[in-house]
Amino acid sequence: MSSKALEGIRVLDLTQYEAGPSCTQMLAWLGADVIKIEPPAGEPGRTALSDKRGEDAWFFLLLNSCKKGVTLNLKSPRGRAMFEEMVKSADVVVENMGPGAMERLGLGSEALRRLNPRIIAASVKGFGSGGPYSEYKSFEWIAQAMAGAMSMTGSPDGPPTKAIGGLADTGAGLHTAIGILAAIIQRQTTGVGQQIEVAQQDSVVNQLRIHLRDTYVDGKPAPRRGNRSAGAAPSNIYRCRPFGPNDYVFIHLATVEMWKTLTRIVGRPELGDDPRYADRRDRVQFVDEIDDMIEAWTEKRTKHEVMETLAGAGIPCGAVLDSSEVLSDPHLRQRGFIVDLEHPRRGPYPMPANPVRLSASPTEVVRAPLLGEHNAEVYGRLLGYGPADLDALHREGVI
């Protein structure tokens, strides 16, 4: 059995919804011992976007694989004392509660470091500390709006539009995971932990940084361009047979050689040598004509036929896959990125695995835990509690 990259690293996971769980799921995929600690009624992500009352939501199952699950009432003195005892032997604590929530529980980063100077206390927040928005609460779409993403997304003649979810939540979670990994390495030298903070707003701005170039050029806000790209043509989606809602491909050309190859394939080779079309920036002035020419060709073919023809000829081209097609995509399946899991109540379901591949530390994806599934295992291992102790804690509402 191969060792895991983060084997021996224990993470106490106080996260909820998406931003925090996406961080701790990555750490679990990399081999950390992640203990997801939830209130006795469960964290709100367990019922988020639920399709079936009384069952864990797919939202939760997709964000909490490979974790141990326990319940604990941190608002009770006994529950807080149990958590503090676990902190003493932990490496990392991760939370994404509202502003000031951990401090109100008496579990802020300074309190945690008094319990364990080696602890790495990581927080995912909407806007972070130290600015005028620090006390504001945030979700995915709030952060997208405040980071400029919505102002750059949508049709040129339409309103600001939210991008697909995850840009702020999972983006912030993965940035936090990077910070935790860096802190673990630095602790090997210093011997002490530190506080890590990632704001959703900061994370989205970081991911959109190249789009700020428009403001550098002319001092104006970056515009909305729809599916077209700035300074390049062709770069757009093109309709394909049988003309369903997702029967499109995206084509983006970067070089003169690609342009010449494309014009040959679509039956207009004379344009490949036309100096007016030699540079992708020059082609922008003919973008409508070019798009019409390409779509006249793609409309005679399916999106997969178009992709196989163009991508096979060295032209960047991708079929627009819907969510069902993604889960059954032969490439993702063959690479082992989409795996099949079994849930005791939900039954079998496909799950995207770890996108980070380490040759010496393969990821084995395990389904998300049921509520309190590992109470006996974790509290027995870390605190020495037996069945009688757990029964008493349950009666008292501590777990």
Percent of the chain with pLDDT over 70: 99
Contacts of 273 (CB under 8 A, 6+ apart): 260
Is 1 inside a domain boundary?
A: no
Catalytic residue among 13, 33, 56, 169: 169
Length of the chain as a residue count: 399
- Asked whether residue 3 carries a pLDDT value surpassing 90, the answer given is no
Identify whether residues 147 and 285 lie together within a single domain: no
Q: Quote the pLDDT of residue 165.
A: 84
User: Residue 278: pLDDT above 90?
Assistant: no
Query: Which residues, at least 6 apart from 33, have a Cβ–Cβ distance to it below 8 Å?
Result: 8, 9, 10, 11, 68
pLDDT of residue 1: 55
In a domain, 214, yes or no: no
- C-alpha 379/C-alpha 96 separation (Å) is 23
Task: Work out whether strand 10-13 and strand 33-38 pair parallel, antiparallel, or are unpaired.
Answer: parallel
350 and 268, same domain (yes or no): no
Asked about 322 being catalytic, the answer comes back as no
Q: Are residues 299 and 348 in the same domain?
A: no
Instruction: Find the mean pLDDT for residues 292-307.
Output: 99
Is residue 217, in this structure, part of any structural domain at all?
no
Residue at a domain's end among 319, 352, 372:
319
For 198-236, what is each residue's pLDDT tens digit? 999 999 999 999 999 999 999 999 999 999 988 889 999
Q: Does 118 lie in the same domain as 16?
A: yes
Is the pLDDT assigned to residue 26 strictly greater than 70? yes
For range 15-24, the mean pLDDT: 98
Last residue of a domain, one of 267, 293, 319: 319
pLDDT in tens, 322-380: 999 999 999 999 999 999 999 999 999 999 999 999 999 999 999 999 999 999 999 99
**Residue written as tokens 């919505």?**
150
CATH number of the domain enclosing 305: 3.30.1540.10
84, part of any domain = yes
Instruction: State whether 34 and 121 are in the same domain.
Output: yes
* Residue at a domain's end among 270, 288, 319: 319
Domain count, the chain: 2
Domain of 134?
10-207+332-395
61 part of a folded domain? yes
50 lies in the same domain as 135: yes
CATH number at 141 reads: 3.40.50.10540
Residue 298 lies in a domain: yes
Please check whether residue 324 lies inside any domain of the structure. no
Do 82 and 44 lie in one domain? The reply is yes
Read off the pLDDT of residues 89-101 as tens digits, 9 standing for 90 and up. 999 999 999 999 9
**195 and 60 belong to one structural domain:** yes
Pairing outcome for strands 347-352 and 338-343: antiparallel
